[in-house]
Amino acid sequence: MSATSYAYRGLEAIEKKDWAGAVPLLDKALEESSSPLWLLARSQANLQLKNYDDALRDAELAYHVAAERGSGTSRKQMIDAQYRRAVIYHRLKQYADSDCCAKWSMLLAEGRPAREDDGVEKKVDADGNYNVTYEEAVADNENQPDYSMKDSFQDPSAPKKAKTGFEAQWTRAYTWRTQVLGALKRLPENDPGRKVHVVKVPPRPQLKKKAEKKPEPRVLELNSKDEKPVAKPSEPAPGTVPDEKLKLRVDFYQTNQNVTVTLFVKGTKKEELNIKFSKKQVQISPITRAAAPYVKPGDREASSTLHLNGEIVPAESRWAVTPQKIELVLQKATPGKWGSWGKEEIGITENANQEEVTDVPAAAPSTQASAPAVKPVAAPAYPTSSRTGPKNWDKLEELEGVEEEQSDVNVFFKKLFKDASPEQQRAMMKSFTESNGTALSTDWNDVKGRKVETVPPEGVEAKKWDS
């Protein structure tokens, strides 16, 4: 199996939070290529398995490899590597080190030079204790990107700053610092966690020696005709993976007029993809399946038929492709709600009613789900005092979420909460509620035995509702 195939399976295990299963797969992939993405994934798995030395080693090596490659994704990977160092040091209760790494992650997100001598680790007192305070971290917004979690407290007349493309990463590190320095504030004066041991650019870890590659055993069979040995192919033949494992992860949402079906599949090439719509089904091929990466176009496993839960208008339906997914925006033949989108069947199945099949080209690329051309539907007239007249509430429902940008901080926190463990979610809910929205912690052991205090941003005074 190729390194890419091992990596795909390892990343899939990470998504399923199968940390123990992900590590050996990523080990295999990293024997062939020191990809920063794969190193960061293995670091995450080792962190969850409490293999902190291995996790830290992978994060530091990912930083060096990303810096050396200098590709379009290198800065993001360096930002992520510094943030991962911050999380690992927090787990090790080295809070001063954790805050330094989080600050370096913020500086990279602001577009600052990677090797700039910013003096973050030098902020210590005469006893060598890190002396950056929680209040200083909250007020540390001078060079923040235009979009951040503190926009609501800023002067709306202040000039906007240019976006760097890493606003979500900046906000993540900024939020992490408030948690780390809150823990640092509660430490005894001479606690080892107050000491700084880190440097901005860590020493490059030594590469592990590649294990000597042993030839895969070859199973020989005798050909009855000429009695010559024939080697079995090293890859499994099509049809050896059960259909249930081949099926894609699917999400959907709907309005009265259309239903959007999202198929999570990586590496789909738009120019090779063929999608055909009919009234009650959609045919898609070829599909690169993580569960069976060896399949080729034309194999049964490389195709899927989606049996829909209602009728659509094929000519008015659209599809779009991104590196992570395929999106289908299906125009309903009759307005209304469906109980579900339908079901997937592996392979191409013929139309039961010999329906006409429409080959629809891809829609223009978009960061949001592609919107089909929707026929106007007369909206109910509701009494209103609005100067702009009555609202078409069905239309508002159709557009709900479309205008929400991916960089919205709410999207970031929703993803943070969704990806957290149940224990981390409890900590987030308790800290956010008790602090009146001014603190967010993912450490349940830290917040379970105390009430989280309200700490408003600098220049804002906290008052009770009835005061």
Q: Which tens digits make up the pLDDT trace of 234-291?
A: 555 666 788 888 889 999 889 989 999 999 988 888 888 899 999 999 999 998 888 8
Please give the pLDDT value at position 243.
85
* Residue 317 backbone dihedrals phi, psi, to 5 degrees: -100, 155
**Across residues 369-390, what is the average pLDDT?**
47
* Residue 94 backbone dihedrals phi, psi, to 5 degrees: -100, 75
pLDDT band at 368 (very low <50, low <70, confident <90, very high): very low
Contacts of 93 (CB under 8 A, 6+ apart): 192, 193
Q: Does 392 score more than 70 pLDDT?
A: no
Distance CA 97, CA 229 (A): 61
Residues 393 and 379: beta-carbon distance below 8 Å: yes
Residues 324 and 309: beta-carbon distance below 8 Å: no
Distance CA 284, CA 349 (A): 11
Q: Does 371 score more than 80 pLDDT?
A: no
Amino acid at the residue 381:
A
**Across residues 214-220, what is the average pLDDT?**
52
Please give the pLDDT value at position 82.
93
Rounded (10°) angle between helices 167-185 and 409-419? 60
Please give the pLDDT value at position 237.
61
Is the N-terminal amide bond of 297 cis, ω within 30° of 0? no
Q: What angle do CA 60, 99, 87 make, to 5 degrees?
A: 50
pLDDT band at 417 (very low <50, low <70, confident <90, very high): confident
Q: Which of 82-96, 161-175, 377-391 has the lowest mean pLDDT?
A: 377-391
**Across residues 431-453, what is the average pLDDT?**
84
**Across residues 154-168, what is the average pLDDT?**
64
pTM: 0.46
Please give the pLDDT value at position 98.
94
Please give the pLDDT value at position 114.
85
Please give the pLDDT value at position 390.
56
**Across residues 95-118, what is the average pLDDT?**
90
Class of CATH domain 243-399: mainly beta
Amino acid at the residue 378:
A
Q: Which of 32-46, 309-323, 339-353, 357-371 has the lowest mean pLDDT?
A: 357-371
How many Cα atoms within 13 Å fall on the side-chain side of residue 316? 14
Please give the pLDDT value at position 145.
65
Which residue in this structure is represented by tokens 């496993």?
301
Q: Does 33 score more than 70 pLDDT?
A: yes
pLDDT band at 441 (very low <50, low <70, confident <90, very high): confident
* Residue 306 backbone dihedrals phi, psi, to 5 degrees: -100, 115
Please give the pLDDT value at position 294.
79
pLDDT band at 45 (very low <50, low <70, confident <90, very high): very high
Tokens of 111: 């577009």
Which candidate, 26, 25, 51, 24, places its Cα nearest to that of 36? Answer: 26
Beta bridge partners of 358: 277
Q: Which helix (H) or strand (E) holds 268?
A: none
Please give the pLDDT value at position 374.
41
Using DSSP bridges, classify how beta strands 358-359 and 304-308 pair: parallel, antiparallel or unpaired: unpaired
pLDDT band at 182 (very low <50, low <70, confident <90, very high): confident
**Across residues 308-329, what is the average pLDDT?**
92
**Across residues 10-20, what is the average pLDDT?**
92
Bigger pLDDT: 414 vs 168: 168
pLDDT band at 326 (very low <50, low <70, confident <90, very high): very high
pLDDT band at 423 (very low <50, low <70, confident <90, very high): confident
Please give the pLDDT value at position 324.
87
Beta bridge partners of 276: 283, 359
Per the prediction, the chain carries an average pLDDT of 78
Please give the pLDDT value at position 361.
63
Please give the pLDDT value at position 302.
86
The boundaries of every CATH 2.60.40.790 domain in the chain are 243-399
Please give the pLDDT value at position 342.
93
Residues 367 and 284: beta-carbon distance below 8 Å: no
Please give the pLDDT value at position 393.
45
Amino acid at the residue 66:
A
Distance CA 416, CA 44 (A): 15
Q: Does 161 score more than 80 pLDDT?
A: no
Q: How far is CA 349 from the centre of its chain?
A: 34
Which candidate, 450, 452, 428, places its Cα nearest to that of 440? Answer: 428
Please give the pLDDT value at position 4.
86
